[in-house]
A and B are shown apart, each in its own frame.
Chain A
């Protein structure tokens, strides 16, 4: 079974830059997986940040960016702010209508 891997937790200082990764237990993530990223705060539905590897969803600040680095998809937050403290999930499209979520990364800004 395909497992999408993410760091369980990460910490960043206000104003700092953080890179969250999204990998595969077997193989490499590519643009063909159409990686997307979602932000979720407690009690809320997820919000779409990035889709198709690097396209920001409407209204998402440009401090959020996505890319492929090596064999993983990455979400980079530049100039982290206090309200960026959230859970972040990546999703990969595996083809044949199958989507797989990563386990999520809990980002702390302190």
Chain B
């Protein structure tokens, strides 16, 4: 059973860079049919797709966040990461990592989510 687990600081200061890592277990990140993505949910609000990466390194970003976001993959560690630069309080959210299966075009595995608060 594939499992995903987010890790990283729960508190980030305004104007700094938010950095999170997702560790994949129970399967390989080197799966041709998988994209590995990040999704966020501000408190009391809806879900927003941030972006995805394929193990080959191809990346896809939400156009509204593209200028701030970098997603990378470390296949040797079965991990992928998110960096969101110049954060503000508006970036306070639960951040989920997830697998997006290209063969079924669905998000089929989710991490439990991690709350990141942007505050000084």
Question: Interface on A for B, CB 8 Å cutoff?
Answer: 1, 34, 36, 38, 40, 45-46, 48, 51-52, 55, 57, 87, 89, 91, 93, 96-104
Contacts A45-B96, A101-B49, A104-B46 given; indicate if A36 touches B64 (C-beta within 8 A).
no
**Of A1, A57, A96, A100, which is within 8 A of B108 by CB?**
A57
**Of A34, A48, A55, A104, which is within 8 A of B47 by CB?**
A104
**Of B37, B48, B113, which is within 8 A of A45 by CB?**
B113
Q: Is the CB of B107 within 8 A of A48?
A: yes
Q: Is the CB of B52 within 8 A of A45?
A: no
What is the interface of chain A mostly: helix, strand, loop, or mixed? strand
Which of B58, B62, B64 gathers the greatest number of chain A CB atoms within 10 Å? B62
User: Which residue of chain B is the closest to A97 with respect to CB atoms?
Assistant: B60
Contact with A along B79-120 (1 / 0, CB 8 A): 000000000000000001000100011111011110000000
Q: How many residues of B contact A (CB 8 A)?
A: 24
B56 to chain A, nearest CB (A): 12
Contacts A97-B58, A97-B60, A104-B47 given; indicate if A46 touches B104 (C-beta within 8 A).
no
> For the complex, what is the distance from the CA of A1 to the CA of B48, rounded to whole Å?
14
| A-B CB contact pairs (8 Å), 28 listed | A1-B64, A36-B105, A36-B107, A38-B47, A40-B47, A45-B96, A45-B113, A46-B47, A46-B107, A46-B110, A48-B106, A51-B105, A51-B108, A52-B105, A55-B104, A57-B106, A96-B60, A97-B58, A97-B60, A98-B49, A98-B63, A99-B37, A99-B49, A99-B100, A99-B107, A101-B47, A104-B46, A104-B47
> For the complex, what is the distance from the CA of A96 to the CA of B111, rounded to whole Å?
24
Question: Interface on B for A, CB 8 Å cutoff?
Answer: 35, 37, 39, 46-49, 52, 58, 60, 62-64, 96, 100, 104-108, 110-113
Known: A89-B46, A104-B46. 16 other contacts (CB 8 A): A1-B63, A34-B105, A36-B105, A38-B47, A38-B107, A40-B47, A46-B47, A48-B106, A51-B104, A51-B105, A51-B106, A96-B60, A97-B58, A98-B60, A100-B49, A101-B49
